[in-house]
């Protein structure tokens, strides 16, 4: 039997049989794994509380027959208490893990994704940052990691440095008036995307939600759905833009 210890984030869990659950993890060194948690739904289960969605844990895993692993010695790497104290933060976390779960890379380790995912969870756990634009920023970072980051410095079609007025996820970026397709985009939204992908993410997430945020959230969601060819339920059920987005 192959046994190993790894850091992991719980992407989701689902019922299996009478009292078991399957826990889907993204691990640091072994990619996505599915854990069969026997008896986890019983009140006495020790694993139950440690393997909830969004948990950031360190875990011993043993490969069983088939595709499943068994978890032993689960401990929390971070408790994420601030994240868990706010619906806005939890919902933002769900929108992020739903996308990670959509990444088609079973058993292919991707430490870069793990690092990005855990940075996002720690950001959501920090009340210095507003959660509203965290999923949006995560989508753009993930696209960039996959080599599909949005082109927003020039028209993605003609390459000219002229005013950009539209965004087309299928073309991969912003477009000028002559090349326009996709959805129209305000200059506030363009400025905001440039800040997110251009290194001012901390500034974007601090304080008031910036102008153009609702537009940029819709653009990023379209882009990530287009990338994975999948509709995202948790992300779509998050209110477009909460009036008081604090926490
Ligand atoms: Zn153009």
Q: In whole angstroms, give the CA distance from residue 246 to residue 244.
A: 6
223 CA → ligand 1 middle, Å: 19
Mean pLDDT of 183-202: 96
165 CA → ligand 1 middle, Å: 10
Q: Is 24 helix (H, G, I), strand (E, B) or coil?
A: strand
Inform me whether the pLDDT recorded for 166 exceeds 80: yes
CB atoms < 10 A from the CB of 112, how many?
A: 12
Note whether 172 and 156 are within 8 A (CB).
yes
pLDDT in tens, 40-86: 666 556 666 688 999 999 999 999 878 899 988 899 999 999 999 99
Binned at pLDDT 50, 70 and 90, residue 19 comes out as confident
Which tokens hold the place of 107? 């058993």
207 CA → ligand 1 middle, Å: 34
Inform me whether the pLDDT recorded for 29 exceeds 80: yes
> Whose structure tokens read 């978890």?
71
Q: What is the mean pLDDT of the chain?
A: 90
| CATH class belonging to 3-78 | mainly beta
Q: Please, which residues have CB less than 5 A from ligand 1, an ion?
A: 155, 157-158, 176, 179
180 CA → ligand 1 middle, Å: 7
> Whose structure tokens read 């779509």?
236
Inform me whether the pLDDT recorded for 174 exceeds 50: yes
Going from N- to C-terminal start, the domains of the chain cover 3-78, 84-237
Inform me whether the pLDDT recorded for 16 exceeds 60: yes
179 CA → ligand 1 middle, Å: 4
214 CA → ligand 1 middle, Å: 24
Q: Give the per-residue pLDDT at 23.
A: 94
* β-pair type (164-168, 68-78): unpaired
Phi, then psi, of 91 in degrees rounded to 5: -60, -40
Which tokens hold the place of 9? 């984030």
Alpha-carbon distances of 194 from 5, 36, 67, 125, rounded to whole Å? 39, 42, 42, 25
**What b/e readout covers 133-164, taking b as 16+ CB neighbours within 10 angstroms?**
bbbbbbbbbbbeeeebbbbbeebbbeeeeeeb
231 CA → ligand 1 middle, Å: 29
Inform me whether the pLDDT recorded for 115 exceeds 80: yes
Binned at pLDDT 50, 70 and 90, residue 1 comes out as low
170 CA → ligand 1 middle, Å: 15
In the chain, pLDDT over 70 holds for what percent of residues?
90
Alpha-carbon distances of 69 from 39, 65, 226, rounded to whole Å? 14, 8, 31
**Where is pLDDT greater, at 6 or 17?**
6
* Helical (H) or strand (E) element with 201: helix 201-205
> Whose structure tokens read 């950001």?
123
Mean pLDDT of 120-131: 97
* β-pair type (3-16, 20-27): antiparallel
Arch. (CATH architecture) of 84-237: Up-down Bundle (1.20)
CB atoms < 10 A from the CB of 27, how many?
A: 22
Mutual angle of helices 111-124 and 134-145, in 10-degree steps: 170
160 CA → ligand 1 middle, Å: 6
188 CA → ligand 1 middle, Å: 19
Inform me whether the pLDDT recorded for 87 exceeds 70: yes
Which range among 53-62, 228-237, 238-247 has the greatest average pLDDT?
53-62
145 CA → ligand 1 middle, Å: 25
80 CA → ligand 1 middle, Å: 44
């Amino acid at each position: 039997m192959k046994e190993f210890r790894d850091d992991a984030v719980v992407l989701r869990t689902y019922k299996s049989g009478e009292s078991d659950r399957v826990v889907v993890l993204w691990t640091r060194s072994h990619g996505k794994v599915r854990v069969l948690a026997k008896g986890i739904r019983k009140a006495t289960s020790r694993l139950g509380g440690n393997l909830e969605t969004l948990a950031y844990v360190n875990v011993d895993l043993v490969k069983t027959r088939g595709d499943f692993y068994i978890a032993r010695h689960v401990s929390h790497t971070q408790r994420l208490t601030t994240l868990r104290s706010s619906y806005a933060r939890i919902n933002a976390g769900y929108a992020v893990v739903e996308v990670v779960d959509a990444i088609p890379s079973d058993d292919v380790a991707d430490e870069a994704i793990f690092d990005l995912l855990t940075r996002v969870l720690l950001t959501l756990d920090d009340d210095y940052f507003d959660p509203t634009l965290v999923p949006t920023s995560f989508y753009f970072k993930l696209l960039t990691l996959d080599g599909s980051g949005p082109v927003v410095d020039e028209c993605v079609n003609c390459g000219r440095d002229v005013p950009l007025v539209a965004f087309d996820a299928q073309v991969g970026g912003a477009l000028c008036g002559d090349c326009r397709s996709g959805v129209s985009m305000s200059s506030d939204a363009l400025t905001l995307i440039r800040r997110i992908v251009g290194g001012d993410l901390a500034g974007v997430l601090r304080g008031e939600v910036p102008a153009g945020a609702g537009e940029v959230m819709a653009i990023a969601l379209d882009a990530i759905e287009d990338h994975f060819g999948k509709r995202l339920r948790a992300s779509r059920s998050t209110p477009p833009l909460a009036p008081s987005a604090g926490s």
